[in-house]
Amino acid sequence: MIRARRRAAFTAACALGTVLGMVPAAPALADPSGCRKDTTRFGVNTDGMLYATGEGNCGTRVYRVLEVEIKQQIDFQPDPVALKSSDAGSDLYYKASPTGCDNNQRKVYYGRTFFQGHTDYDDTSARVYDVC
């Protein structure tokens, strides 16, 4: 659903740019060469705290930052970040795990993992949670 929404927004922007005679923006940057990432866990624990775990593996040791975010899904607006965590270094393996509360809300949330500076995201499915 999130990817479909992103694809629809990009298609609309390209169509508008064509009508206005503008060139569409460059495509999003993929993962760093030789790297992959995944959001391996996402949910709410028994205390009502949101949690997510994102992991990344790379074939070479170059400085990178793996970001893991828990976001609120809001239609027709940018999705705000409720919680985030990161792991940085010149490593082959990265792992980050944001955990926490979001002001006693019942909202739709999803987890996202990506390498900083790259916009190829790994999103979980969106879920409704009551959180602390």
User: Do the domain assignments include residue 55?
Assistant: yes
pLDDT of residue 32: 86
CA atoms within 13 A on the CB side of 108: 9
User: Do the domain assignments include residue 121?
Assistant: yes
pLDDT of residue 119: 84
Segment (H or E) for 71: strand 64-72
The closest of 42, 23, 30, 122 to 82, measured between CA atoms, is 42
User: Do the domain assignments include residue 45?
Assistant: yes
In the beta sheet, which residues pair with residue 69?
Answer: 84, 112
User: Do the domain assignments include residue 111?
Assistant: yes
User: Do the domain assignments include residue 125?
Assistant: yes
User: Do the domain assignments include residue 21?
Assistant: no
Q: What is the pLDDT along the chain (132 residues), one digit of tens a residue?
A: 454 554 454 444 444 444 444 444 444 567 888 999 999 999 999 999 999 999 999 999 999 999 999 999 999 999 999 999 999 999 999 999 999 999 998 999 999 999 999 989 999 999 999 999
pLDDT of residue 24: 45
Q: Give the Cα separation of 126 and 122 in Å (integer).
A: 12
User: Number of folded domains in the chain?
Assistant: 1
pLDDT of residue 85: 98
Question: Around Cβ 77, how many Cβ atoms within 10 Å?
Answer: 8
User: Do the domain assignments include residue 5?
Assistant: no
Q: How many helices (H) and strands (E) does the chain have?
A: 1, 9
pLDDT tens readout for residues 10-25: 444 444 444 444 444 4
CA atoms within 13 A on the CB side of 77: 7
Domain containing residue 109: 29-130
User: Do the domain assignments include residue 19?
Assistant: no
Domain containing 121 — which CATH number?
A: 2.60.40
Distance of CA 97 to the CA centre of its chain: 13
pTM: 0.76
Question: Hey, is 97 helix, strand or coil?
Answer: coil
